[in-house]
Amino acid sequence: MNLIRRYLSVALIVMSAASHMNDLEAYGFASADHWPTNGWRSTTPEKQGIDSAKLADALDYIRAHNIRIHSLLIIRNGYIVLDAYCYPYDKEQVHDVASVTKSITSALIGIAIDRGKIKSLREPVLTIFPDRQIANRDARKQRLTTEHLITMSSGLDCQFEPNEPTLRQMRQSGDWVQFMLDLPMIAEAGDKFVYCSGGMHLLSGVISQTVGMSAFDFARQTLFTPLGIRDAIWPSDAKGVSHGWGDLRLHPHDMAKIGYLWLNHGLWNSKRVVSAEWVAESTRAHVSAGGDSDYGYGWWVKSHARPFIYEAVGRGGQRIAVLPVENVIVVMTGGGFEPGDFSHLLIESIKPNKPLPANPVGVGRLARAVSALNKPPEPKSIPLLPATAETVSDRSYLLDANPLGIRSLTLRFTSQIEASVQMTFTDGRTEEHPIGLDGRIKRSPGGRYNLPVGVKGYWENNHDFILDYDEIANINRLRFQIGFEGDQIVIGLTEMTSEFKTTFEGKLRNK
């Protein structure tokens, strides 16, 4: 009977996908004559039934309210209708997609199942790791499956608030997969949704264990290469397991390719990359996540939204949103924002899927709005530096243990208008970056993963220097309040995208 139900379920999914494909063919979308493997085509918004004036309104709102968005990309019917990049992001760079990574990990699980590397989502997780000694084994853990992990309903003691403590503990352990396997169960698997990044890392471990390579290598072989995704960064743990929950870095155009693959039910250039059944199941609500969202297989599903939307979502504003009925993909990256304030303007811009009358005035407004977003703010006058600036300049301070792993910090004030900061890290890295003292960040290369960093700063008073250190494409925005007292410094650190705060001290290095 269970087998009959399973085949009926698959048949219904295929029928549903076929019906939806017919709807798309009515718009001429499914029979696309171009695939963006080597690049997207562009057109005016009106040619694809989108109001350019409304898009200009959205960009004007973003600029007027200083929203920390880095890029906004809108695609309809396979054509780019908006491709905007916002200062200080460099449009040539890949961008940390944060928890959008979870949707990629999910896709790789689906591909591994399609290829017979993973038996099914119903396979117990413990049977996939037969050679590991696993703590806290009980009947509930024996029933834990990959489906429970991918729907974030594992029942493991995985804590999300505040600031994902279980994820931090996992990262401090010597074997991250083992750490997650050893967690005790506090609920029956499948009972309820609990956001758990570590569970997604365990899924990356499942990929490594079953396909014999890292998730990154498997992605390059089965997903990225077919889609023409060539520039990607995906770090791994000490055991070579790709970070299953986050930290993947892609270009916004390549993020859109993932959405386009899903919009086309797993087909790319007439070739099957992932099964239509997996795409349908991954974007169907499997568990209630609270609020107005449900959760599928690594995708957030807004089942009751009009138009219907499913999304890959990451901290700081990273998004791949797919509006299947409208044949629209929206990609966003950012340094700490939520699109709620202007998303209604984007939705209002989407008209019925047929060409609108040409609107050269609206297109011109949109072009000017795109250009304005990419410009830095006007500089501010630089006040006189306090005497403390000369006293502390070029002095190196050894820092206490801190979450950023900074071992030492040196500020240099070479003139009234020129300054720089040098940091050495416990992993052996040294970074030195100029500081904008006129209210504008100075962008320079050499940050993590060799991505640019933007830095600005000012003296709050005679003894406290405020240093804003923006990792830009690496998302994190760090504000250091550095207080100088004799040979000691006290640093109040705030991570602006998550509002994480801590304090640590340092002392003058003996020369």
Structural tokens at position 158: 């995985």
Is the dihedral angle over the CA atoms 311, 314, 319, 320 positive or is it negative? Answer: negative
Q: Which amino acid is at 326?
A: E
Q: How far apart are CA 506 and CA 400, in angstroms?
A: 6
Residue 171 makes CB contacts below 8 A (sequence gap 6+) with none
Rounded Cα distance between 342 and 320, Å, is: 16
Cα separation of 244 and 404, whole Å?
Answer: 21
∠ CA 85-90-342 to the nearest 5 degrees? Answer: 25
Is 480 inside a domain boundary?
A: yes
Beta-bridge mates of residue 352: none
Short-list 107, 64, 111, CA closest to 86: 64
Tell me which amino acid residue 259 is: G
> Coil, helix or strand for 40?
coil
- 117 in a structural domain: no
Other beta carbons less than 10 A from residue 22's beta carbon: 10
In a domain, 452, yes or no: yes
- In tens, the pLDDT along 204-232 reads 999 999 999 999 999 999 999 999 999 99
Where do the H-state alpha helices sit in 327-473?
Answer: 340-349, 360-373, 387-392
Please give the span between the terminal C-alpha atoms of the chain, in angstroms, as a whole number: 78
Where residue 489 sits, what CATH number does that domain have?
Answer: 2.40.128.20
Residues β-bridged to residue 329: 75, 322
Q: Does residue 249 contact residue 97 with C-beta atoms inside 8 Å?
A: yes
Amino acid residing at 352 = P
Other C-beta atoms closer than 10 Å to the C-beta of 289 total 20
Structural domain that includes position 423: 387-508
The per-residue pLDDT for 511 is: 57
Identify whether the C-beta of residue 108 lies closer than 8 Å to the C-beta of residue 218.
yes
What does the DSSP 8-state code read for residue 224?
A: I
Cα angle: 203, vertex 209, 210; to 5 degrees: 95
Q: Which residues of the chain have pLDDT under 50?
A: 1-31
Give the integer Cα–Cα distance in Å for 355 and 93: 33
d(CA 85, CA 64): 15
Q: 430 lies in a domain?
A: yes
- The rounded radius of gyration (Å) of the Cα atoms in the chain is 25
Separation in Å, CA 283 to CA 259, 278, 310, 323: 12, 9, 6, 11
Residue 163: the pLDDT is: 83
Q: Is residue 413 part of a domain?
A: yes
Q: Is residue 211 part of a domain?
A: no
453: exposed, middle or buried (C-beta count within 10 Å: 0-12, 13-18, 19+)? buried
Percent of the chain at pLDDT > 90 equals 87
The phi, psi pair for 89, rounded to 5°, reads -70, 135
What local confidence, expressed as pLDDT, does residue 292 receive?
A: 84
Got the DSSP string for 437-449? Answer: SSSSPEEES-SGG
Residue 442 maps to a domain: yes
Specify the pLDDT at position 496: 86
Burial of 37 (0-12, 13-18, 19+ CB in 10 A): middle
Number of compact structural domains in the chain = 1
CB 251 within 8 A of CB 71: no
Do 155 and 125 form a contact (C-beta atoms < 8 A)? no
3-state secondary structure of 194: coil
Give the global pTM.
0.91
Residue in the structure block whose two tokens are 């009925």: 325
Q: What is the pLDDT of residue 341?
A: 79
How many Å apart are CA 135 and CA 137, to the nearest integer? 6
Q: Is residue 369 part of a domain?
A: no
